[in-house]
Structure 1
Amino acid sequence: MLPRNEHNQPTLVDETRARPKAPDPDLERNEDHQFLMNRSVRNFSWKGLTVTVKDRQTKDARELIKDISGDVQQGELVALMGPSGCGKTTLLNVLARRPAASGAKVLGDSYVNGTKVDSSAFGRMTSYVEQEDTLIGSLTVRETLKFAADLSLPSSVTKSQRIKRIDTLLEAFGIQNQANTLVGTPIRKGISGGQKRRASVASQLITCPKILFLDEPTSGLDSTASFEVMSYAKELARANNIIIIASIHQPSTTTFQLFDKLLLLSAGRTCYFGPLAGIDGYFREIGHPIPGSTNPAEFLLDIVSSDFGNAKEVAQERVQLIQHSWAQSMEADAISRQIFDRFSVAEKDESRVDVEDIVRPGSIRITGALLHRSFIKSYRDVVAYGIRIVMYLGLAIMMGTVWLRLQPTQESIQPFVNAIFFGSAFMSFMAVAYVPAFLEDRANFAKERANGLYGATPFIISNFLIGLPFLFLIALLFSVISYWLSNFQPTGQAFMTWVMWLFLDLVAAESLVVFITAIFPNFVIALALVAFANGLWMSVGGFLVTPTILNPFWKYVFHYIDYQAYVFQGMMVNEFSDRIYTCGTGCHCMYNTDLADQCQIRGTGVLETYGYATGRTGKWVGILVGIIAVYRLLGWIALSLRKT
């Protein structure tokens, strides 16, 4: 059964952590108890919020929102409503202290308990659920909540407490029957859209935030699912004294009536802010009474919208009058006085800010949780590695059967070289298949970083480490098939050296994907750029044009930073350094070596035509490892600097 409060409502605080009636010194020292307290945020207010951006055409300042003020009490559910483009998401981002828009200038202040709180402390007491459900589709609903707990709860919260908190949330949001169901991927069907929204909200409530921001939580849901999501939110807000502010577009009557307060916007300005009970009286007073048997939300959106209709000028004039009426109203003045009074009281109260120091898990613990989550995703999500393994196996069979049983004769020298290039270059090129999987990881990282869970370092480290065993497996499986079918250097050492080069090739290619996709988190752009980069590396790698005659510009600018070039060199040396080839009938040798009088070609003669020397394997491996490190470092920098 769910734990209940005195009003018989479900509560997130379980018996092991409920605050006792009498002070308990041991409990007061418990960080977990301190972490779970909800009494610290009694109210949240903001005054004079204004966001301006530079217009691209006129270069003048353009206001996205102007002079927005409001005040919310603990346990209240607030609707942020208005026509499309009115500034709802912009305002929600400003309230949540997220970037409002590119190059935006933000004015105004927000207060917690009448006091300005720094962004770090504010981030620890809030959570944000974005409009798009950035959930990992290959995890179950329970695992989604489990990893949310692992990434946010301190080690002082025991395993049993975490499990109980997860069970409480699953039951509170009515998704306990879907606990072991996959969220869902494009290939594998999972839970419904409404259940995804509930799972998204539940995963943010795992830390019991004091203020929760919801961006279009009912987007894409039918009226029944919308009502379910918002009714759960309202119940939890009241039971746990959480402030919930949700942007919402055209809710049904029943969903609209769930909200305690409404902030109505139009063209970035306030048309109304206050309790739902006061809407009818206020709009009747300013000459816009709400007709009976009408959805009040639809009516309000109609009268504050000025973008459509034949009488557009009349609509704009009506909206301006509504905005002016609010600015001059007693209700607006009362909010300003209330915010000022809170601020004045807080100034006199030395203990006015009761913001607990929420302890997050350490970097090692976070990295371990990310590794565990990525491991589950990797073997369940066929897009991440499953499809790639099948692709590489198919490529191995094709390569092994096209270059089948090549013999150590001079007629096979060029086919050997062609096979080496094909195997290394196309293995690298096919790393483009990793783009969609990394985009999903990156989107989830952006959401979790914005909620203050972790930064780019543990994400990059875990992403790198989790890929190594899978890439080695791919390199090994590919080599087992293609290497022996094509009859490359038939020794165990040569085979393992081939596997090593192929493995480093794949790691470098995947690192390139991480770097490019970190900068351009768009599927089409990332795919095109990764393909272009691989085409460039193929061109200057040393096969199509040997380094001895390669244009100096391409050689000195690109060839020496081309990881494919070092892989190709390494594989060439591995094949030709210790192998001898017969010249064939008539003893006409294509390569002149010291064995020409024996009608044979020493493999080093082939290497000399490409300008490759032996004994440099260690150097080339070091350079290749350095290139991999640089790609990962650049990816880390890109993720650290780019906040979206």
Structure 2
Amino acid sequence: MDEPNSFAMEARASPDVEMNEGLFLMNNSVESFSWRGLTVTVKDRETKKPRDLICDIGGDVQRGELLALMGPSGCGKTTLLNVLAHRAAGAKVMGDSYVNGAKVDAASFGRMTSYVEQEDALIGSLTVQETLKFAADLSLPSSVSKRQRMERIRTLLEAFGIQKQANILVGTPIRKGISGGQKRRVSVASQLITCPKILFLDEPTSGLDSTASFEVMSYAKELARLNNIIIIASIHQPSTTTFQLFDKLLLLSGGRTCYFGPLQDVDTYFRNIGRPIPANTNPAEFLLDVVSSDFSSGKESPQEQVEAIQRAWATSAEANTITRQVSSRARTTDKDVNKVVMEDLARPGPVKITTALLHRSFIKSYRDVVAYGIRIVMYLGLAIMMGTVWLRLHPSQEYIQPYVNAIFFGSAFMSFMAVAYVPAFLEDRANFTKERANGLYGATPFMISNFLIGLPFLFLISILFSIVSYWLSNFRPSADAFFTWVMWIFLDLVAAESLVVLVTAIYPNFVIALALVAFANGLWMSVGGFLVTPTILNPFWKYVFHYIDYQAYVFQGMMVNEFSKRNYSCGDQCQCMYKTDLEDQCQIRGTGVLETYGYATGRTGKWVGILIGIIAVYRLLGWIALLLRRT
């Protein structure tokens, strides 16, 4: 048997927690949360027939109680947790749930509950205290003063024993932060900032050792008891000490109930049905073994053993008692809903949410070297390479093609290297998915803040890259030409990053997103006008892809910027490669080069407008993808 951690025991008995008990108590506590007949049905991929993931589940939890959802892998724990949290999607759901005996609509239910995901979707470049601060900014209305917010944050830090880690970063792959157990506590604490009445925890001890698991659950139990919060947690194979922290147990196997009731009655119940828990055995491990269809503890086959336990529960007096309790509380009206949903659970307005997201993204951007730091170094390296490979090109005809090559390289590879933004956006997207599921905000403020926060960093990259590469390569030496080049590089990067946002919004998988973004950029390079000029490009590629290729407008804009106002010498022999009106002067007018590509001058404004339109379409499609895709 695992021994409880002494620090966790001290924290549970801490006078600070008791002293701050009133901070989280709500005027209208949820007295009970109950459900009956919950069934989730999907179509089997092989047989094409309906299949129940969970079937006819009922239960009842009172305020201050901690309920464990337990069972072998694949038994339906997470499915049931999502249904209870009103998060079910892509399946047919039947049954009812009640808050204080009344049915509550999804919006109201979302305002009184919080959900902690199995994976810690935390921003690693924020400190622990900043994580809680932004959770407060995104969830608490203006009626909660700054002093009250800071007091609430301080109390949560103390209650979860992480006050000493308040100014430590959560941690990134590059910068070490807090431990795994402390991350789980931060995840739970950030969801408690709004004082939810019901808290759902999906595998809160996943990846933690027995000591860290006990700490996390002991903090959760103490907060549930002190603040009358109902906590429902799915959990897999807890230690004995962690298991004993729960007040009630819902044991599942194959999507059906094997036991529901007080934890102290588990031993008696299983003894009565002929499955006594052996002495000196972790009861959680025994229960998981006895309801597993993969293993058998007797002469019966595993499936027969599980079915016998399920039948025993279905016909038991305990099951009938639960059914009667839920039925007696359930009412057909929702007249008491307004008593459950409090005014202080109102969310802040869209402007304040967008401002908070901008502030958080700004901190993340300058601290997280993966987001922009590494990219700045990478682009500077690219600028030095470009400037030294195409070093001090001369305005003579033998350098015309190297000029064109340098323009292509500077535009195409700048956008291609935007693939480095994929991991940073994936982290932002995971955090958005978690916060949207908890009802904090939608896709609009997220997309707006993500777009705005990237602009100054992309502009900085554009300036730094241009200062190095433009003058080393000896492009047209004038201020207006230089800043026009900077403008094209900036628009190129914004479009490339917008493409990353679109692809990653649709496919939130690192490998897939990286491959698709790289493929798209390869396609744009092929049809952009450099490798094959638009005048001879295959009509299919020209009319289907060339005109929607943002790199094409950047390339031709840079070409016009370089060649429209510059002349080139024809060499000592005066044999001009391009025939222009300056041939008799042994020179080539730059517009002659543009004519071979089919580029006209005086269209910069039009091209800029088209490029901005492409960026807007990418962002709009990304916004639609986030609206439609909930995971």
Report the TM range for the smaller structure's normalisation: over 0.9
Structure 2 matches for 1:200-215, cutoff 5 A?
200-215=187-202
Alignment of 1:3-18 (within 5 A): 10=17
Match of 2:99 in 1: 112
1:79 to 40, 57, 68: 68
- Is the CA contact 1:11–1:236 (under 8 Å) kept in the aligned structure 2? no
CA RMSD of superposed structures (Å): 1.9
Q: 1:174 to 1:486 in 2, by over 3 A?
A: same
Matches within 5 A, 1:458-537: 458-537=445-524
Query: How far has the Cα of 1:312 moved from its partner?
Result: 9.7
Q: Which residue of 2 aligns with 1:60?
A: 49
Residue 352 (structure 1) shift:
8.3
User: Is the 2:290–2:296 Cα contact (8 Å) retained in structure 1?
Assistant: no
- d(CA) in 2 for partners of 1:521, 1:436: 10
- Aligned counterpart for 1:300 among listed residues 287, 292, 299: 287
Contact 2:21 2:226 in 1 (8 A): no
Distance 2:543 2:335 in 1: 67
1:354 CA drift (Å): 2.9
Contact 1:10/1:172, CA 8 A, preserved across alignment: yes
AA matched with 1:488 = F
Aligned to 2:150: 163
Instruction: Give the letter for the 1:10 counterpart.
Output: V
Residue 230 of structure 1 corresponds to 217
- Distance (Å, rounded) in 2 between the aligned partners of 1:604 and 1:309: 84
Query: Is the aligned partner of 1:609 residue 2:616?
Result: no
TM-score normalised by structure 1 residue count:
0.94
Rounded to whole Å, the distance in 2 between the matches of 1:12 and 1:441 is: 37
Distance change in 2, residues 1:330/1:349 (3 Å): farther
Q: Hey, what does 2:340 align to over in structure 1?
A: 354
Contact preservation (8 Å) 1:12, 1:168:
no
Letter in 1 for 2:205: T
Q: Indicate how the Cα distance of structure 1 residues 5 and 185 shifts in structure 2: closer, same or farther if over 3 A, else same.
A: closer
Alignment of 1:205-284 (within 5 A): 205-284=192-271
User: Which residue does the alignment assign to 1:319?
Assistant: 306
* TM-fit CA distance, 1:136: 0.3
Report if aligned partners of 1:40, 1:355 keep a CA contact under 8 Å in 2.
no
Tell me the alpha carbon deviations over residues 70-124 of structure 1, each in whole angstroms, 9 at most, x when there is no partner: 0000000000000011000000000001135xx3111111110111100000000
Of 601, 622, 630, 1:635 maps to 622
Q: How many pairs align? A: 620
- Aligned pair in 2 of structure 1 residues 348, 607: CA closer, same or farther (>3 Å)? closer
Task: Give secondary structure in 1 for the equivalent of 2:395.
Answer: coil
Aligned equivalents of 1:418, 1:6: Cα separation in 2: 71
Equivalent residues of 1:12, 1:240 under 8 A apart: no
The answer to whether the 8 Å contact 1:113/1:352 transfers is: no
Counterpart residue identity of residue 203, structure 1 = S
- Aligned ranges for residues 25-174 of structure 1 at < 5 Å? 37=26, 39-100=28-89, 103-174=90-161
Cα distance, 1:266 vs structure 2 = 0.5
1:174 deviates by 0.4
1:320-339 aligned within 5 A: 320-339=307-326
For 2:67, what is the secondary structure of its paired residue? strand
What amino acid is aligned across from residue 342 of structure 2 in structure 1? E
Matched with 1:28 is none
Report deviation, 1:333.
Answer: 0.5
Q: 1:51 aligns to what SS in structure 2?
A: strand
Residues of 1 paired with 2:334 and 2:219: CA distance?
38
Residues 176-225 of structure 1 show CA distances to partners (whole Å, capped at 9, x for unaligned) of 11110110011111000000000000000000100000000000101010
- Counterpart-to-counterpart distance in 2, 1:67 and 1:494: 72
SS in 2 for 1:587: coil
Conserved in 2, the CA contact under 8 Å of 1:115 and 1:353?
no
Q: Give me the whole-angstrom Cα distance separating, in 2, the residues matched to 1:507 and 1:8.
A: 53
Q: Point out where structure 1 has 5 or more consecutive residues left out of the alignment.
A: 19-35
1:38–1:240 contact (8 Å) kept in structure 2: no
In the TM superposition, residue 11 of structure 1 has moved relative to its aligned partner by: 5.8
**SS of residue paired to 1:585:** coil
Indicate if the aligned counterparts of 2:289 and 2:297 stay in contact, CA closer than 8 A: no
SS at match of 2:552: helix
How far 1:39 sits from its partner (Å)? 3.1
Q: Name the CA distance, whole Å, in 2 between partners of 1:350 and 1:145.
A: 32
Q: Deviations over 1:615-638 (max 9, x none)?
A: 000000000000000000000000
User: Secondary structure of 1:10's partner?
Assistant: helix
In the TM superposition, residue 308 of structure 1 has moved relative to its aligned partner by 3.8
